[in-house]
Each structure stands twice: as C-alpha cells, then as structure tokens.
Amino acid sequence: MRSRIWILVGGVVVAGVLVGFFVTRFMNPTPEQITATSTSATIQGKPVVNFTLTTVGTIGYGPHPAWVSYLPTTYLKVPAGAVVHITIDQQDSPSGLRNPYFSLVRGTVNDEMTVNGKVVQAIDPTTPAHTFTVPDLGVSVPLEGISGSATQNVVEFDFVVPDQKGLFRWQCFVPCGAGTLYGNGGPMQTLGYMAGELQVG
C-alpha cells in the first residue's frame, strides 16, 4: 500500500515537471538573442563591442506585420564591463515625445551621440521617431525621425555596462504604437518590437 502511494506521488511530480517544461519552453519560448561583435578598440580602458540595429515603421513579417519595430531583434547580449557601441539606422518618420526629457541624450559616453556624423546632446522633442532607453542604466538616446527625401538617420552612441552579470529591460519612450491607446499599446508593450532585454555577462 505504501509503495503505491509513493508511485502516485512520483507520478504527480513527474507530470508537474513536464507541465512546467511545456509552459516555459513551448508556450513562452526564449527568443534568439544577438551577441555584440567584439572589436580591438577600447574606451576608458574598457573593450568596445558593436551592435547595428534598424528602426522601421512597419516590420513587414511575423504575427504583426504592420507594427513598428527594432530589427533584427530587441534581445541583446553583451559582455560584462564592456563599452557598447550601437549604430542605429533610423528609418521611421517622427511621432514626437510626450515627455520632452527623453529628447536629451543621457548616460552615454560624454552624454552625446552622433546623428549622421554630427555630435549632438539633444534634439527637438517633436522630432523623435523612437528612443533607445535602458532606465536602470540611466541610458537614453532619442532617434530623430526622417524628413524630406531622407531614407534614414544614422545614430551612433556608446555606453558602459556594469562589471557584474545582469538582465536589463530597455524600451522606446516615444508613444509610437499608432492606432493603440495613447500610442502606448501593441508594439510598445511587446518584447521584440519596441521593448527588449539587454543581457550583460
């Protein structure tokens, strides 16, 4: 009798573990990360690693082809203690900011970025299409929307990541989710589009 109970308990535990794997792996898969490419450069004695991202007005594929998005993904992995050099080919039109604070460049090396090669520390708050913002690292960069016949603005900046491992949420702060409540729904609240994770270490 006793051994039967233990067989039952064991069966329940095994079933629970299998359900757990199903929920975490199949229902909620971890998306592919891209890893920063290493370089031989250093800034402030720290190794520089590179990412190149693109922001587009419509992603054009997947379950939400009409959504705005970062490409190729918003899941980024960098080594601890590195300087991350990001190049963003910004190809979307401006939406403008609700909170003009995010038109400032903050938390990057020298609190600056370059826009098409020109050094800038802030832009007009009505002109951003998106921002690249990592709140817990104090990093925020406004990405100027394209105007006239321009097809993209190339935005570059550097920031230092901590020496310890960590997972940092990042997102855009322009309410760019057109057609959603206050522009903050849809792609603005979905990882992989206008929100993502920066894995350090």
Query: Which residue ranges make up the site for Cu ion (CB under 5 A)?
Result: 130, 172, 174, 176, 194
Output the CA–CA distances (angstroms, integers) from residue 137 to 58, 83, 84, 113, 140, in the order listed.
Answer: 28, 13, 12, 16, 9
Nearer to Cu ion, 49 or 59 (CB): 59
CB of 152 to Cu ion, least distance (A): 15
CB of 61 to Cu ion, least distance (A): 18
Nearer to Cu ion, 83 or 172 (CB): 172
Place of tokens 């997947």: 62
CB of 184 to Cu ion, least distance (A): 10
Buried b (16+ CB within 10 A) or exposed e, 51-63: bbbebbbebeeee
Nearer to Cu ion, 83 or 123 (CB): 123
Output the CA–CA distances (angstroms, integers) from residue 53 to 72, 100, 158, in the order listed.
Answer: 7, 24, 14
Nearer to Cu ion, 96 or 201 (CB): 96
CB of 97 to Cu ion, least distance (A): 10
